[in-house]
């Protein structure tokens, strides 16, 4: 594997048709024909025994010579082979605002309820409650699987350019994740994971970028990228999550049927805004990940308030959704609603993902929460203790 540090010089070519529409027109997988050109500033070849150290050294070397450093990762044939040999464990998507699809079509489960050490990771299940009301969905039930008591998040930014720089193209998700981890908001998960400690959910200081990826991806493409990065960091298991951020104009589908997708330009396949999942890689281990497409599009964007701007708040709204759901249900066999009450299969975030419509527009309807003096807009999450959707304990 090779790590490289770059300084961006020019942006990618733009396309008149959305990626999935191009695919259906040409039946040829669209690839960025004119990827943003880079000036090589530093390079570092690494062996498997020096991966994490090399990542830190490369980051430091990049920082010394580039205003916007990044570690460039490109999946190779070994990553593709690893995905082919992997065992997908779970995938759970957040519906788009215009999706008319049943929950089962957005979920994939390949797990049985955990026992023993895995089950011990979870907090105690509360007494069964069946509470209903106007924004008060039914309580989540515990199904015996592992939860995430503490976690470090890694960000992977796909196809960054001058027009779509690392991190800031999506608002500031690195800062948001850092602030979320020290907020009162994150402590909603305490009741589900059995821990009340502060500062358990952190963000890595080393993050990644991947260039020259196609503008129409599948989950296997995502997994190839996640495998490449996780192989470099060697950090796997329930203490780490890899968040893959897709730029504007990049679509992603669950598989090569291209029928269940994030595809804002093609409404008949536009079923989800983002998803989280887990996978077992042979020789590497269990890996948690999320896929974060560009959210400031009709069907995934938010209605006011937008204290940090439409792009940042739309990103934060869905990113927090996926983080909370990963913590409380990483493999699909921990906390989710299993009652026959109209929201069967929904997780902590699904139950509180509200839509708001006006005469001229519609979108997701977030709440506000503060970290210090900083105000964020993000959807609330479901609290069994309060039998309500909340942004604090």
Q: What is the DSSP string of 61-89?
A: HHHHH-SS--EE----HHHHHHHHT-EEE
Better pLDDT: 285 or 40: 285
Residue 179 in domain: yes
Residue 28 in domain: no
* Top mean-pLDDT range of 3-7, 39-43, 109-113, 340-344: 340-344
Instruction: Reply yes or no on whether the pLDDT at 131 is more than 80.
Output: no
Instruction: Reply yes or no on whether the pLDDT at 176 is more than 50.
Output: yes
Residue 138 in domain: yes
Instruction: Reply yes or no on whether the pLDDT at 136 is more than 60.
Output: no
Residue 105 in domain: yes
pTM over 0.95: no
User: What is the rounded radius of gyration, in angstroms, for the C-alpha atoms of the chain?
Assistant: 20
Range of lowest pLDDT (49-53, 270-274, 338-342) = 49-53
* Amino acid 260: pLDDT: 94
Instruction: Reply yes or no on whether the pLDDT at 47 is more than 50.
Output: no
- 49: alpha, beta or left? (left if phi > 0; alpha if psi -120 to 50): alpha
pLDDT (tens digit per residue) in 49-79: 345 445 444 444 444 434 444 699 999 999 9
Average pLDDT over residues 298-307: 90
b/e string for 271-299 if b means 16 or more Cβ within 10 A? bbbbbbbbbebeeeebbbbbbbbbbbbeb
* Amino acid 102: pLDDT: 57
Average pLDDT over residues 103-126: 53
Query: Look-up: residue for tokens 């695919």?
Result: 23
Tally of structural domains, the chain = 1
- Give dist(CA 308, CA 389) in Å, integer: 22
* Amino acid 341: pLDDT: 77
Instruction: Reply yes or no on whether the pLDDT at 216 is more than 80.
Output: yes
* Amino acid 120: pLDDT: 41
Instruction: Reply yes or no on whether the pLDDT at 192 is more than 90.
Output: yes
Domain that holds residue 238: 71-390
- Give dist(CA 148, CA 146) in Å, integer: 7
Percent with pLDDT over 70 in the chain: 72
Residue 211 in domain: yes
Residue 382 in domain: yes
* Amino acid 150: pLDDT: 98
Range of lowest pLDDT (56-60, 253-257, 296-300) = 56-60
Instruction: Reply yes or no on whether the pLDDT at 91 is more than 60.
Output: yes
Residue 44 in domain: no
Residue 112: band (very low, low, confident or very high) from pLDDT cuts 50, 70, 90 = low
Q: Give me the chain's average pLDDT, please.
A: 81
Residue 223 in domain: yes
């Amino acid at each position: 594997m090779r790590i490289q540090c770059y300084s961006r010089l020019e942006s990618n070519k733009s396309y008149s048709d959305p990626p999935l529409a191009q695919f259906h027109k040409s039946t040829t997988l669209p690839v960025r024909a004119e990827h943003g050109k880079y000036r090589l500033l530093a390079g570092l070849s690494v062996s498997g025994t020096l991966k994490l150290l090399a990542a830190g050294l490369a980051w430091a070397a990049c920082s010394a010579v580039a205003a916007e450093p990044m570690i460039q990762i490109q999946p190779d044939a070994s990553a593709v082979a690893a995905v082919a040999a992997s065992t997908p464990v779970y995938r759970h998507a957040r519906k788009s605002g215009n999706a008319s699809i049943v929950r089962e079509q957005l979920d994939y489960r390949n797990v049985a309820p955990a026992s023993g050490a895995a089950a011990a990771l979870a907090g105690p299940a509360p007494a069964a409650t069946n509470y209903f009301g106007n924004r008060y969905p039914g309580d989540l039930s515990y199904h015996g699987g592992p939860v995430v008591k503490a976690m470090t998040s890694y960000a992977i930014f796909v196809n960054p350019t001058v027009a779509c720089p690392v991190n800031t193209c999506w608002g500031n998700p690195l800062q948001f994740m850092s602030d979320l981890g020290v907020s009162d908001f994150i402590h909603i998960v305490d009741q589900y994971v059995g821990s009340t400690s502060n500062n358990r959910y952190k963000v890595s200081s080393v993050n990644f970028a991947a260039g020259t990826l196609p503008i129409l991806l599948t989950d296997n493409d995502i997994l190839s990228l996640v495998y490449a990065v996780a192989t470099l960091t060697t950090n796997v298991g329930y203490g780490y999550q890899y968040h893959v951020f897709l730029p504007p104009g990049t679509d992603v589908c669950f598989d090569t049927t291209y029928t269940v997708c994030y595809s804002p330009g093609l409404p008949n396949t536009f079923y989800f805004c983002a998803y989280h999942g887990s996978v077992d890689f042979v020789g590497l281990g269990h890996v948690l990940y999320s896929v974060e497409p560009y959210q400031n599009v009709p069907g995934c964007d938010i209605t006011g308030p937008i204290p940090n701007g439409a792009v940042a708040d739309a990103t934060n709204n869905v990113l927090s959704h996926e983080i909370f759901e990963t913590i409380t249900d990483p493999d699909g066999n921990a906390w989710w609603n299993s009652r026959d009450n109209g929201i069967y299969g929904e997780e902590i975030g699904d139950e509180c993902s509200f839509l708001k419509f006006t005469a001229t527009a519609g979108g997701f309807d977030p709440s506000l929460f503060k970290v210090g003096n900083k105000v964020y807009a993000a959807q609330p999450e479901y609290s069994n203790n309060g039998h309500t959707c909340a942004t604090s304990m």
